[in-house]
Amino acid sequence: MSNSATPRQAAFPTSEGWTLGDITVRRVDEVELPRQTGPWLLPHATKEVLDEARWLRPDFADAEVPRLASHSFAVEAGGLRIVVDTGIGNDKPRANPAWNGLDTDVPARLAAAGFPPESVDLVITTHLHTDHVGWNTRLVGEDWVPTFPGARYLTSRTEWDHWAATELDEARAQMFRDSVHPVRDAGQYDLVDVPEHGHEVAPGVVLVPAPGHTPGQVAVELRGSGRRALITGDSIHHPVQLSHPHVHSCVDIDPAQAVRTRARLLDTVADTGALLLGTHFPRPTAGTVLREDGRYRLLAEPGVALPATTLPATAV
């Protein structure tokens, strides 16, 4: 994602989340993205399109444009601490002024939620885009080092192989230099084969293929003892894509495949009571998907205040 205005730092509690029975998931805020992000990223999400889905306002859109945010999800499952996507990151040199040299307190927010970086067991990268890998690393002196020193970092083999075979522009090459390669060089990145039926990487935590935005993108299904949830990655950037699934992102590598993936994922959660957790959905971030007049809508479900986890840190 990209834009030219500086986002304002989110000022929300890091301990807001949802309980799925034996799995708990918390949102850890990074920044609210600039207002101009919506029209750039989703150019077909016009005011007229938004007007057709009145339920989007006031939470997910203003009078004219969709609202978007950057956050991570911190998951407790099977005695493990898991972080899904790591946002934009601090101190990163970026061509996009909105992301360049950010200075946020994400590590403190993780710690407040009971996920101090040194205690995290697993980091899941849904796809290798700049705003999903930024906190993979932090700057120590002049060196980029893994933010989560005891964690295994996972991404799909298809995703990794795609970018390894792609000629990168300088902005993307810089992202790999500061946010991906240092983790690889530390021996902490693992590549996962993700078949059509998914791949379980921790108890109740399943990577499912979600290609289109990128070739190897995954979504993350959480199969709790009391409820199921789906973390979207960028397969669904914004709730407007529920009512208008053919509204695609300007940075989708394969827009037609992205539309098919979105339709498949929505069909699996619609009218089931499962929770949809949007990786870029602004607060309240989550909801249940309902079929309505041949389309989908999101019934928002705000998180609740949760005490910081006290699970013992373990290794994967």
Kindly state the tokens that stand for 254: 């394969």
Q: Where would I find the H helices in 118-169?
A: 130-133, 157-164
Instruction: Kindly tell me the number of DSSP H helices and DSSP E strands found in the chain.
Output: 9, 18
| Residue 1 within a domain | no
pLDDT of residue 312: 55
Q: Residues 131-179: pLDDT tens digits?
A: 999 999 999 999 999 999 999 999 999 999 999 999 999 999 999 999 9
Q: Is residue 316 pLDDT above 60, yes or no?
A: no
Domain-located, residue 97 = yes
Q: Is residue 312 part of a domain?
A: no
pLDDT tens-digit map of 185-195: 999 999 999 99
Average pLDDT of the segment spanning 277-305 = 96
**pLDDT at site 309:** 77
Is the pLDDT at 238 greater than 90, yes or no? yes
Mean pLDDT of the chain: 93
Give residues with Cβ within 8 angstroms of 60, minimum separation 6: 66, 67, 238, 239, 240, 281, 282, 298
Range of the domain at 140: 8-305
Whole-number Cα distances in Å, 130 to 22, 80, 134, 166, 174: 32, 26, 6, 15, 10
As for how many domains the chain has, the answer is 1
Q: Find, among 308, 304, 286, 276, the residue nearest to 109 by Cα.
A: 308
The pLDDT score that the predictor gives to residue 311 is 52
pLDDT value at position 4? 38
In a domain, 181, yes or no: yes
**pTM score of the predicted model:** 0.93
Report the amino acid identity of residue 313: A
159 domain residue, yes or no: yes
- 92, 99 contact by CB (below 8 A): yes
pLDDT surpasses 70 at 14: no
Please check whether residue 60 lies inside any domain of the structure: yes
User: Is 315 among the domain residues?
Assistant: no
What is the secondary structure of 75-123 as a DSSP string? EEETTEEEEE---S-SS---SSTTTTT----HHHHHHHTT--GGG--EE
Domain annotation covers residue 138: yes
Higher pLDDT among residues 96 and 6, named by residue: 96
For residue 151, the domain's CATH number is 3.60.15.10
Looking at the DSSP assignment, which residues form a beta bridge with residue 250?
none
